[in-house]
Amino acid sequence: MNKQSTDDILAQDAHLIQSFADLDGLKQQGARTAIVAAKGAYVTDSEGNELIDGIGGLWCVNVGHGRREIIDAITRQLETLDYYSTFYNFTHPSAAALADKLASLAPGNLNRVYFGNSGSVANDTAIRILHHYNNRLGRPNKKKILSRIGAYHGSTHLAMAMTTPVYSEGWDTAADGLVHHLRAPYGYREAGEMTEAEFLDALAEDMLGAIRDIGAENIAAFIAEPIMGAGGILVAPDGYHARMRQITADHDIKYIADEVVTAFGRLGHMFASEDVFGMVPDIINTAKGLTSGYQPLSATIISDEIYEVISEPGAMFLHGMTYSGHPAAAAAALANIDILEREEIPQKAQITGKVFENALRGLSDLDIVGDVRGSHFMMGIEFVKNKDTKETYADEVKLGQRIAQETQKRGLIARPLGNILILSPTLIMDEAMIGEIEGILRDSILAVMAGLPD
């Protein structure tokens, strides 16, 4: 790669609108990284730098980059059947096989699958289905949604309305009054002097209070990520999901588990809801690791009970996307799941993920590391000015961003989020690579600490 090619890419990139970006900042500095190639756990930028992909693309490249089996499966599929829809009475073998496979992997009676092409669409789809379900049951008022502060559910209008409100600052939400946000299960900042069990009681009481205020007869669903990702890796107290599941079941409110990030091995299991958190929701939404990012694909996996209602005589399913179950995406997912199973990647991640977790927790001795949290290959480091008071540096210090810049200089891509740094690498890390990541993080944090204001 030469410098010219970077300049060429960036000149053309002036026409591209980046996601979640400070567009003016990009205009002024032009500081972007063009990733031109990827293999295994690494990516290469247009300057020829090889970097550890510490964020797994975008929490999605679970089996690693450049897997020949997936690329071949996509190619074979395109050579046989490039495109056909799953509209009306049409289907095709890859979408059918993948739906069957997901039904076998998903817990409980979650046996019916609707394919979309993003996590946002999966979440919108779940809500549209539940609204329709309640209409069919003659409960037209049972439409409101309980979500949580800190949640990230996507960027379509409805998914964004369910996302934590800070993501919509200066933007509108199309669903005013539809979504009620409960308190974040953010122990580090919300629990105060409470024990974990007391904090759990408080969160359960929040949920019960909201149900009392809004009325269960008006609430369709509670949507929750097993571990909040883009909200800053927020891990709820032990027993939280099972408790919330019980409350929702008691009040005839559907539980939607947003497993867009947590499924397909990131927490050591194909799905986290039952295997990690001991509960079976009514709907699981997933995307990202479903194809390891090789193709855009999401799945909304619903219970037989919901399916029975929406498939009654006379009930039309008025929902559809041209690329729902796209053959190439379904083929990619099947090949990806085959790799996950054959190489026992989730099982291995139960061990290496713990090594990763412990390595990052080892950074807690540094003065500005306030909290290291997460599980397996979904980790966050929260930086503070004062560990005792948990006071943070001002936003202008751009602490997370500065540390991410330092890690990138040293060969590691990490994702800054305010005062938090997120790590969600591929699941194929070995101990040597984990050690390397830890070393880069430590050196980068120390380098930034040396230049921080008092």
Ligand X SMILES: Cc1ncc(COP(=O)(O)O)c(C=O)c1O
Number of residues that bind ligand X (CB under 6 A): 14
Nearer to ligand X, 118 or 303 (CB): 118
- 187-226 residues in contact with ligand X (CB under 6 A) are 225
Nearer to ligand X, 46 or 164 (CB): 164
Q: Is residue 287 part of the contact set for ligand X (CB under 6 A)? A: yes
Q: Which stretch binds ligand X (CB under 6 A): 1-9, 238-246, 255-263, 429-437?
A: 255-263
Nearer to ligand X, 153 or 373 (CB): 153
Q: Is residue 375 part of the contact set for ligand X (CB under 6 A)? A: no
CB of 58 to ligand X, least distance (A): 6
Nearer to ligand X, 258 or 382 (CB): 258
- 305-344 residues in contact with ligand X (CB under 6 A) are none
CB of 31 to ligand X, least distance (A): 23
Q: Is residue 260 part of the contact set for ligand X (CB under 6 A)? A: yes
CB of 350 to ligand X, least distance (A): 21
Nearer to ligand X, 298 or 444 (CB): 298
CB of 164 to ligand X, least distance (A): 11
CB of 329 to ligand X, least distance (A): 12
Q: By C-alpha distance, which of 264, 240, 185 is closest to 424? A: 264
Nearer to ligand X, 93 or 165 (CB): 165
Q: Is residue 152 part of the contact set for ligand X (CB under 6 A)? A: yes
Cα distance between residue 109 and residue 279, in whole Å: 12
Q: Which of 51, 161, 257, 261 binds ligand X (CB under 6 A)?
A: 261
Q: Which stretch binds ligand X (CB under 6 A): 80-88, 175-183, 258-266, 343-351?
A: 258-266
Q: Is residue 417 part of the contact set for ligand X (CB under 6 A)? A: no
Q: Is residue 119 part of the contact set for ligand X (CB under 6 A)? A: yes
Nearer to ligand X, 227 or 345 (CB): 227
Contact positions toward ligand X, by CB under 6 A? 118-120, 123, 152-154, 225, 229-230, 258, 260-261, 287
